[in-house]
Structure 1
Amino acid sequence: MGKIKLKNIKIHSNHGCLREEMLIGSDYRVDLEVTADLSKPAISDQLNETVDYVHLNNIIKEEMMVRSNLLEHVAKRIVDRIFLEIIEVTEVEVTVSKINPPIGGDVENVSVKLKITR
Structure 2
Amino acid sequence: MADRIELKGLKVHANHGVLPHETEHGQAFSLDLVCWLDFREAAAGDDLTKTVNYAELAQLAHDVAAGTPRQLIETVASEIADTALARYPQLHAIEVTLHKPHAPIPLVFDDVAVVARRSRKARP
TM surpasses 0.5: yes
Picking from 87, 97, 100, the partner of 2:99 is 97
> Equivalents in 2 of 1:39, 1:58: separation in Å?
24
- Where in structure 2 are there 5+ consecutive unaligned residues? none
Cα offset, 1:102, TM superposition: 1.4
> Equivalents in 1 of 2:54, 2:28: separation in Å?
22
* Equivalent residue number for residue 68 of structure 1: 70
> Equivalents in 2 of 1:78, 1:100: separation in Å?
21
Q: What letter is aligned with 2:80? A: I
CA contact (8 A) 1:15 1:71 kept: yes
Q: Deviations over 1:54-110 (max 9, x none)?
A: 111011111002211001100110011101111110101110010221111222221
Identical-residue share of aligned pairs (%): 31
Q: Cα RMSD between the aligned structures?
A: 0.9
Q: Which runs of 4+ in 1 moved over 4 A?
A: none
CA contact (8 A) 1:7 1:32 kept: yes
- Where in structure 1 are there 5+ consecutive unaligned residues? none
Cα offset, 1:41, TM superposition: 0.8
Q: Which has the higher strand share?
A: 1
TM alignment of 1:1-118, pairs within 5 A: 1=1, 2-65=3-66, 66-118=68-120
Q: What letter is aligned with 2:46? A: D
Cα offset, 1:115, TM superposition: 1.6
CA contact (8 A) 1:14 1:23 kept: yes
